[in-house]
Amino acid sequence: MPLREPVDLVPPDQLGALHFIAMGGTGMSGIAIGYHELGIPVSGCDQADSPTLRHLAAMGIPAHVGHDPAQLDGVSTVVVSSAIKADNPELVAARRAGLRVWHRSTALAALMLGHRTVAVAGTHGKTTTSAMIATMVAAAGADPSYVIGSPLATTGQSAHIGHGDCFIVEADESDGSFLQYPTNIAVITNVEADHLDNWGSPENYAAGFDRFATAEPVEQVVVNADDPGARALAERLRHDPSTTARVITYGEADDADARLTDIGFSGMTGRAVLSHDGSDHVLNLSVPGRHNVQNAAAAFVVGKLLGLDEDALGAGATSFAGTHRRFQLLGTAELDGGTVTVVDDYAHHPTEIAAALSAGRRVAGQGRLVACFQPHLFSRTLDFADAFGQALARADLVVVTDVYPAREEPIPGVTGELVADAARAAGARVRYVQDKTALPGELAALVRGGDLVMTIGAGDITRAGPALLDRLAGHRP
């Protein structure tokens, strides 16, 4: 898939009616909601029905199942995701009719026009950090607009058009989309090679973040000082005389501008002290994991850059309950010997898996940590099989299923068994279950009271957790 270059933007009120192909996706649905809340006519479709599509229909957005050129009647602008192929019948008809065709990133960028914008980029942590910023800014009374990659656990919303000046987005680097956004405050959580099928090399991937951080509208760059890739970027920016943006670092590093100390955890909560601009602020979090403490630090710094009240920002950090598929508690089941807890997580890169399992280890306490992983993309599985194995070996028991292909065609010899073998080599106890439909039964036979079970991956592994709970006759909170 080629990298995307920015295109000229048109204000939303000049686009006419919009039609979203693959509107049921999380990213696409959020943008569609944004235009709908502005009062602009929106319609869309997807190849299969889904709760998201039904939710959009309930909001008054025409949501069709299936692709039919007749659905373009009255449409001026067609929005597509990266998953849409050139031979899609609606896309073919749109191009033949001379309609404006935009990638989803361009449609999102147009929504951002006229706002003070915050774009959160990074190999990992984009969704949670952008969601934390939206929650904390809202808690400070600023009513922000936002489009993020997963619904907030508290509201079920992934997008909102507020009355305030601030617009917060999750900035996807996978195909260069983040270069399209008119960004004022750039947040970079980390830079670690990924999506090499698009970028070609780790050097090209890192250079993309440099370009994102040095775009003309950028005024401040908030960077994680604890991540080697992000830290190197910050140092390059500070030593580049042509860079006009202010660089603010955060993290546990001694030289971080916003420094984290006294970090502690208890169950599903976390706590830290953030020292910034001569003041100390206590962050009390309702989500687990050291990575979430860092994400909250970034969000707090952004809130201060927006001129918001520090106490209100801190209260917003405490109220943040996570997003769907980010260490999301699905439910519990009672077995002899104790409670089985089931959590779902979107982690699909080795570093993300390591962070999620580290949080899981703290939550599991004396119980076993069971990781059920579905690799995502054949190319990523080939590139990172050994690293996946090393990360998964943090669990007491690892169950691996076959690769979720997403947009890719199979690569000969690349299956989930590569990851299973790598996890065994790293010392893990591993079960390879090629057929994902067999996972609930396999897991039900393996788990015991006191276990924390984590279903992990960016594909449809998310179905395994609820099915396991049903088999265990559990309940969901």
* 57 in the same domain as 185: no
Number of domains composing the chain: 3
Q: What is the mean pLDDT of each run of 10 residues along the chain (477 residues)?
A: 86 96 89 94 93 92 95 96 90 97 96 97 93 96 93 86 96 91 97 84 93 95 97 95 93 97 90 95 92 95 97 95 84 89 92 90 91 95 95 96 90 96 96 95 93 94 94 61
Amino acid at 453: V
* 17 in the same domain as 37: yes
- Is-above-0.85 flag for pTM? no
Is 126 catalytic? The answer is: yes
* 343 in the same domain as 291: no
DSSP code for 6: P
Known binding-site positions for ATP: 122-128
What pLDDT, on a 0 to 100 scale, did the predictor assign at position 1? 59
Please list, in sequence order, all residues whose beta carbon lies within 8 angstroms of the beta carbon of residue 39, skipping any fewer than 6 positions away. none
What pLDDT, on a 0 to 100 scale, did the predictor assign at position 475? 42
Question: Does residue 165 sit within a domain?
Answer: yes
Question: Does residue 81 sit within a domain?
Answer: yes
* 312 in the same domain as 217: yes
What range defines the domain where residue 70 resides? 12-103
* 400 in the same domain as 362: yes
Q: What is the 3-state secondary structure (H, E, C) of 229-287?
A: HHHHHHHHHHCCCCCCCEEEEEECCCCCCEEEEEEEEECCEEEEEEEECCEEEEEEECC
* 376 in the same domain as 465: yes
Tokens of 420: 């299973």
Question: Does residue 398 sit within a domain?
Answer: yes
What pLDDT, on a 0 to 100 scale, did the predictor assign at position 378? 94
Question: Does residue 7 sit within a domain?
Answer: no
* 120 in the same domain as 96: no
What pLDDT, on a 0 to 100 scale, did the predictor assign at position 337? 78
Domain with 426 in it: what CATH number? 3.90.190.20
Domain with 210 in it: what CATH number? 3.40.1190.10
* 135 in the same domain as 21: no
Question: Does residue 78 sit within a domain?
Answer: yes
Is 127 catalytic? The answer is: yes
Tokens of 413: 């010899």
Last residue of a domain, one of 103, 122, 152: 103
Amino acid at 37: E
DSSP code for 408: P
- Bridge partners of 220, per DSSP, are 185, 246
* 244 in the same domain as 143: yes
Domain with 17 in it: what CATH number? 3.40.50.720
Of 132, 117, 140, which is closest to residue 313 (Cα–Cα)?
140
* 348 in the same domain as 311: no
* 177 in the same domain as 56: no
- The count of other CB atoms within 10 Å of the CB of residue 426 is 18
Residue of 26, 117, 127, 189 marked catalytic: 127
Is 189 catalytic? The answer is: no
What pLDDT, on a 0 to 100 scale, did the predictor assign at position 476? 41
Residue of 77, 126, 323, 436 marked catalytic: 126
* 188 in the same domain as 120: yes
Question: Does residue 149 sit within a domain?
Answer: yes
Last residue of a domain, one of 49, 72, 103: 103
Last residue of a domain, one of 103, 127, 161: 103
Amino acid at 365: G
Question: Does residue 164 sit within a domain?
Answer: yes
Residue that the structure tokens 């996570």 belong to: 322
Question: Does residue 1 sit within a domain?
Answer: no
